[in-house]
Amino acid sequence: MNDTSRTEAFLSIAAVERDTGLAKDTLRVWERRYGFPSPERDANGERLYPQEQVDKLRLIRRLLDHGQRPARIAGASMDELNALVGQLRCDSSSDPAQAERDAALLQYVRLHRSAELSSALRQALLKQGLQRFVIDTVAPLAEAVGEAWMRGEIDVPEEHLFTEQVQNVLRSANGAHAGTGGRPRVLLTTFPEEEHVLGLLMAEAMLVPEGVACLSLGARTPLADIRNAAVGGGFDIVGLSFSMAYPARQAVDGALELRAMLPEEITLWAGGGAVRDKQKRLPGVRVVCGLEDTLLALQEWRAANAVAAD
């Protein structure tokens, strides 16, 4: 995007792991098996990944998350990959008026118009109310930002700026409601490797207006600590958020492990991209498919615990 952004066009394997979410071991074994990626080496024989290969890896990662398999796409060209990505994006259709608004907001993100972005967000919040704001504005925008990021159309600062502004707005709104005594009591957090916090804030924003007593621990809480906090704090529900980038396998394993650690009377919810369609592999866990399903899950809990509540 700018001239200096390509001065250092080589990344170490650790940096690539950070940027793509692919483990070092995975990167090495792909190189061995598929011949891709094929990084340069420095004087000491350590891998140096050119930026273009990292971009390709990001694309591949995205396709993997959508069910493709490595052997098929590891050797594919950039064009073939883009064609596959194009196929994936067709199914996300919505009404055109909304798409136009989203595009305007996305433009604010791109151009560093932080003030405009902020006030546009606050305005939308006032107009739509918290829950619809999250569903109709924040979530689509987050997805648009994620896609633009994957396609390399926006850079780190833009993504950070977006996250910060949304956090400001949502935290203000959530704090304003601040119900103390409601039921159920919900504990929200993510696993240690998951640092994305927007999913938690959106979930909180869905629940707080329903009179739920929500407590978010933020991101990166170790499993044992989640359990201790849930039991010690007398919570009814533990809610986990997984971004699309989170390895599905780890999400499932971790959720099951936590389920086994928690006492039976505490309900476990899991939501976010990584656990979509994973309900059948998660017995005992309520997979929350999208933000609106949060309300359904809440209804279910209240129906099941109606007698015990009073």
Partner DNA sequence: TCTTTCATTTGTCCTGGACAAACTTGCGTG
Partner DNA sequence: CACGCAAGTTTGTCCAGGACAAATGAAAGA
Binding-site ranges for DNA (CB under 7 A)? 12-14, 23-26, 28-30, 32-33, 43-47, 64, 67, 69-72, 247, 249-250, 280
Residue of 59, 65, 99, 94 lying closest to 79 (CA atoms): 59
Distance in Å, CB of 222 to its own copies, minimum = 4
Cβ contacts of 29 within 8 Å, gap of 6 or more: none
The answer to whether residues 274 and 248 touch, using CB atoms and an 8 Å cutoff, is yes
Residue of 183, 175, 238, 240 lying closest to 210 (CA atoms): 183
Identify the residue whose tokens are 């201790």. Answer: 228
Q: Which option in its own copies, DNA, none does residue 261 bind, with CB closer than 5 to 8 A by kind?
A: its own copies
- φ and ψ at 178, to 5 degrees? 40, 55
Query: Which positions from 93 to 132 touch its own copies by CB under 8 A, shown as an x/- string?
Result: -------------------x-xx--xx-------------
77 near its own copies, rule: CB under 8 A: no
How far is 151 from 56, CA to CA, in rounded Å?
10
Long-range contacts of range 34-38, CB-CB < 8 Å, 24 or more positions apart?
Answer: 34/70, 34/71, 34/74, 34/75, 35/74, 35/75, 36/74, 36/75
Q: Which of residues 159-178 bind its own copies (CB under 8 A)?
A: 160-161, 163-164, 167-169, 171-172, 174-176, 178
192 near its own copies, rule: CB under 8 A: yes
With CB under 8 A as the contact rule, which of the stretches 27-35, 145-153, 227-235, 268-276 interacts with its own copies? 227-235
The answer to whether residues 183 and 212 touch, using CB atoms and an 8 Å cutoff, is yes
Distance in Å, CB of 263 to DNA, minimum = 25
Distance in Å, CB of 68 to DNA, minimum = 8
Complex with its own copies: residue 5 or 98, whichever CB lies closer: 5
Distance in Å, CB of 111 to DNA, minimum = 34
Q: In Å, how far from its chain's centre is CA 110? A: 20
Which position among 67, 86, 96, 232 is part of the footprint of its own copies (CB under 8 A)?
232
The answer to whether residues 48 and 40 touch, using CB atoms and an 8 Å cutoff, is yes
The residues binding its own copies (CB under 8 A) are 1-2, 4-5, 7-8, 15, 18-19, 21, 112, 114-115, 118-119, 155-157, 160-161, 163-164, 167-169, 171-172, 174-176, 178, 180, 189, 191-193, 195, 215-218, 220-229, 231-233, 254, 257, 260-261, 264
